[in-house]
Copies of this chain bind each other. A is one copy, B any other.
Amino acid sequence: MYSINKLKKDETYSIIHYTGFICILLGLLMLVPVSVALIYGEYHYIMPFVYSAVISIVFGFILYKFFKNTQEISLKSAMIFATIIWLVASAIAALPFYFSGDLSYLNSYFEAISGLTTTGFSMYNNLDAVSYTMNFWRGFMQWFGGIGIIVMALTILSSPSINVMRMYSAEGREERLVPSIRHTTRIIVYIYMGYTVFSIILFLLAGMSLFDAIFYAFSALSTGGFATHNASLGFYHSIWIEIAAMIVMVIGATNFAIHYAVLKGKWREYFKDIETKVAYSLMIIGTILVAVFLYNGTYYGHDFLLSLRYSLFQVVSALTTTGLQTASGSEISYQWEGMGIFVLTIVMMVGAGACSTGGGIKWLRIGILIKGMWWQIKSLLLPKNAVISHKIHHVDELKLDNEVLRLTGLFVFSYLLIYMVSVIIILFYYQNVPQVMFEVASAMSNVGLGSGLMTASSPAVTKVVFMADFWIGRLEIWPILLLTVILIQNAVRK
């Protein structure tokens, strides 16, 4: 009846043009670690970054210059751009890892996409031996990846589950998309910078060195979760550092539209928001369940406070999809097996706040579905002519229609379908079901909590599945399905 829209030549050129722009930006950002190499005297790390920067800038410049954007980019093109850009940016951000000789190109790509999507799985065998320069690059990547995620969520994906909604209504205002992205980006960068400074100060006060404070501010605020030690944050054995990290992680996982409202003085918005309610309910229930479980085990010496401390940190890390951990991978896969690993898996799947740096299904969607269940029961009980108002409070007072509920339900179903397929593929290589379910949830929700399964020595296929999951989870599924169909469609026509 209707033929599927192909991308017009103009649109394709615009997409390439903006891709070039991002490559140039990335190239410039690569010059920052050079100063770190100079400060710490790691001179042999200078050239890898210089080479990478030159390649990125030249490559980006060619795309930028020779593929002019002849028209304002449409929202559909913007979605396709967002889908491709993570792959391209990762390919480029991977270069310093590869040129320095630290990692193979596959592993470099893994490290880069894990960083940019703020997932946090690492391909370094021994994190304690990584240079300052490369660590800075790892943290820095997550930091600016985080900005990219928020901007993308607020403009292109819009609020999840309300996203496609907005897209429809946005078709008419195509001309305003780029200025809107520029405007949003400016505000987000200001807020994000402010929180970064705040986080660095917090980590310094908690007793970290300046380098570590900067690194973990990057890592925690972006809910990235890269660490500079094999033991992750457990290395410090410091309750203050753990508290600081939890505060920063919660900031990073909170909707930046709410941050904006709160910073504008409307602090009540935070407490009224449906996301806040979902998040704290889950945090409390999850923490108690895991704490009781750990207390009943022997590993934490039947010490309830210690069990609570480990439980709370890991649950907050999972719920904010950060992935910093105080319990080691082998602790999680052996001592936490049972309630511990199951609850963490669920909490990771639920994920963080919408329009934050976090991943997962999102607190908003879970809130909408729980409300939807309640509305459904009410509609069964009330007389037929009763009108049930489908209202939630999220940044604003929102009225939801069946369309939003349909999309939210479909999103969760799609998420679970892709999750299931990923688990099945990984099960060809690893047999420990709870561990596989845990790590795939960790990958798809961009968490990065590890139990020791995904390492540099894992089979290439499993790495590719994980990378695909980082990407799919980060893009919130639909744009990827969209791109897939377009590619197949175009291939068929040729």
CB neighbours (8 Å) of A338 from chain B are: 427, 431-433
Q: Which 3 A-B pairs have the closest CB atoms?
A: A409-B409, A338-B431, A433-B434
**Which of A219-227, A234-242, A376-384 lies at the interface with chain B?**
A376-384
Stretch in A56-64, A308-316, A410-418, A461-469 touching the partner: A410-418
Q: Taking the complex as formed, is A386 at the interface, i.e. its CB lies under 8 A from any CB of chain B?
A: yes
- A402 contact set on B, CB distance < 8 A: 402-403, 405-406
CB distance from A274 to the nearest CB of B (A): 16
Partner-binding segment picked from A26-34, A206-214, A341-349: A341-349
The docked-state distance in angstroms from the alpha carbon of A369 to that of B409 is: 9
Q: Is A5 an interface residue (CB 8 A)?
A: yes
Q: How large is the interface on A (under 10, 10 to 19, 20 to 34, 35 or more residues)?
A: 35 or more
| With contact pairs A410-B405, A478-B380 given, residues A433 and B337 touching in the complex (Cβ less than 8 Å) | yes
Among B1, B339, B407, B414, the residue within 8 A (CB) of A428 is B339
Distance (whole angstroms) from the CB of A297 to the closest CB of chain B: 9
User: CA A399 – CA B402 in complex, angstroms?
Assistant: 16
- State how many angstroms separate the Cβ of A363 from the closest Cβ of chain B: 15
Contacts of A25 in B (CB 8 A): none
| Chain A positions 94 through 109: 1 when the CB is less than 8 Å from some CB of chain B, otherwise 0 | 0000000000000000
Interface-lining segment among A148-156, A188-196, A443-451, A481-489: A481-489
A462 to chain B, nearest CB (A): 14
- Contact yes or no, A337 B381, CB < 8 A: no
Bound-state CA distance A373–B480 (Å) is 13
Option from B2, B164, B386, B433 in Cβ contact (under 8 Å) with A342: B433
How near does chain B come to A479, taking the closest CB pair, in angstroms?
Answer: 9
User: Given A338-B427, A377-B481, A402-B405, 13 other A-B contacts at CB below 8 A?
Assistant: A2-B383, A4-B378, A5-B381, A167-B380, A168-B384, A338-B433, A369-B409, A376-B407, A376-B478, A381-B482, A381-B486, A405-B409, A406-B409
A122 close to B (CB within 8 Å): no
Is the CB–CB distance between A1 and B380 below 8 Å?
Answer: no
Say whether, besides A373-B414, A402-B403, A482-B377, A5 and B382 are in contact (CB < 8 Å). Answer: yes
- Distance of A338 Cα from B408 Cα, bound (Å): 31
Q: Is the CB of B406 within 8 A of A372?
A: yes
Q: Which residues 267-321 of A sit at the B interface, judged by CB distance below 8 A?
A: 289, 293
- Looking at the assembled complex, report how far the CB atom of A166 sits from the nearest CB atom of chain B, in whole angstroms: 13
State the oligomeric state as a number of copies.
Answer: 2
Interface string of A327-351 (1 = CB under 8 A from B): 0000000000111011100100000
Residues of B within 8 A of A428 (CB): 339
Is A424 an interface residue when CB atoms closer than 8 A count as contact? Answer: yes
Given the complex of chains A and B, what is the CA–CA distance between A433 and B332 in angstroms?
Answer: 13
Q: Mark A423-459, 1 if CB is under 8 A from B, else 0.
A: 1100110011110010000000000000000000000
When distances are taken between beta carbons in the complex, the residues of chain B under 8 Å from A79 are: 380
Which residues of B sit under 8 angstroms from A489, Cβ to Cβ?
A: 381
Residues of B within 8 A of A259 (CB): none
In the complex, residue of chain B having the shortest beta-carbon distance to the beta carbon of A343: B424
Is A76's beta carbon under 8 Å from chain B?
Answer: yes
In angstroms, Cα B376 to Cα A485, docked, is 12
Known: A380-B164, A381-B5, A402-B403. A413 touches B373 (CB 8 A): yes
Q: Assess whether A197 is interfacial by the CB under 8 Å rule.
A: no
B-side contacts of A379, CB under 8 Å:
164
Is A342 a contact partner of B481 (Cβ separation < 8 A)? no
Q: Which residues of B contact A171 (CB under 8 A)?
A: 384
A433 pairs with B382, CB closer than 8 A: no
Decide if A47 is an interface residue (CB 8 Å cutoff). Answer: no
Chain A 133-164: CB-based contact to B (< 8 A → 1; otherwise 0) = 00000000000000000000000000000001
Q: Which of B168, B412, B431, B482 contacts A413 (CB 8 A)?
A: B412
A404 to B124, CA, bound (A): 49
Chain B nearest CB, measured from A408 CB (Å): 7
Is residue A420 within 8 Å, beta carbon to beta carbon, of the partner chain? yes
For the complex, what is the distance from the CA of A424 to the CA of B293, rounded to whole Å? 11
Contact across chains for B381 and A433 when beta carbons are under 8 A apart: no
Could you tell me if A342 and B372 are in contact, using CB atoms closer than 8 angstroms?
no
Taking the closest CB of chain B, its distance from the CB of A225, in whole angstroms, is 23
